[in-house]
Amino acid sequence: MGNDSHNGYTVPAFGVNVERDVVYRKAKGYWSEGPDRFDEPSLNWAKLLKPQEELELKMDIYTPECDGASSRPLLLMMHGGSFLFGNKNEKGQTEWCRHFASLGYVAASIDYRMGFHIKKSGLLTAEADALEDARAALAFLLSDDRLKADAGRVFVAGTSAGGALALSLAYAPPAAGCRILAVGDLWGYVRDLSVLENASVPIVSFQSIQDPVVPYEKGCPLNRKSAGTVYGTKAVFDRAAALGIPCDHVPCQEKGHRLHLDREGVLTPRFYDIQDRLTAFFAAAMAR
pLDDT per residue over 172-218, tens digit each?
887 778 999 999 999 999 999 999 999 999 999 999 999 999 999 99
Please, are residues 260 and 208 in contact by the beta-carbon 8 Å criterion? no
Residues 46-61: what's their mean pLDDT?
Answer: 89
Asked whether residue 135 is domain-assigned, the answer is yes
pLDDT range class, residue 4, cuts 50, 70, 90: very low
Asked whether residue 98 is domain-assigned, the answer is yes
Q: What is the pLDDT at residue 176?
A: 75
Please, are residues 146 and 172 in contact by the beta-carbon 8 Å criterion? no
State yes or no: pLDDT of 1 exceeds 60. Answer: no
CATH code of the domain containing 167: 3.40.50.1820
Asked whether residue 154 is domain-assigned, the answer is yes
Range of the domain at 251: 3-35+45-287
Mean pLDDT over each residue of the chain, to the nearest integer: 92
Number of domains within the chain: 1
Please, are residues 107 and 75 in contact by the beta-carbon 8 Å criterion? yes
Please, are residues 264 and 219 in contact by the beta-carbon 8 Å criterion? no
Please, are residues 177 and 151 in contact by the beta-carbon 8 Å criterion? yes
Burial class (CB in 10 A: 0-12, 13-18, 19+), 101: buried
State yes or no: pLDDT of 36 exceeds 70. Answer: no
State yes or no: pLDDT of 146 exceeds 70. Answer: yes
Asked whether residue 20 is domain-assigned, the answer is yes
Please, are residues 72 and 64 in contact by the beta-carbon 8 Å criterion? yes
pLDDT range class, residue 45, cuts 50, 70, 90: low
Asked whether residue 201 is domain-assigned, the answer is yes
CA–CA dist 36, 89 (Å, integer):
8
Secondary structure letter of residue 17 according to DSSP = E
Residues above pLDDT 90, as percent of the chain: 82
Query: How many CB atoms are closer than 10 A to CB 47?
Result: 7
Asked whether residue 16 is domain-assigned, the answer is yes
Asked whether residue 40 is domain-assigned, the answer is no
Q: What is the pLDDT at residue 40?
A: 47
Q: What is the pLDDT at residue 38?
A: 52
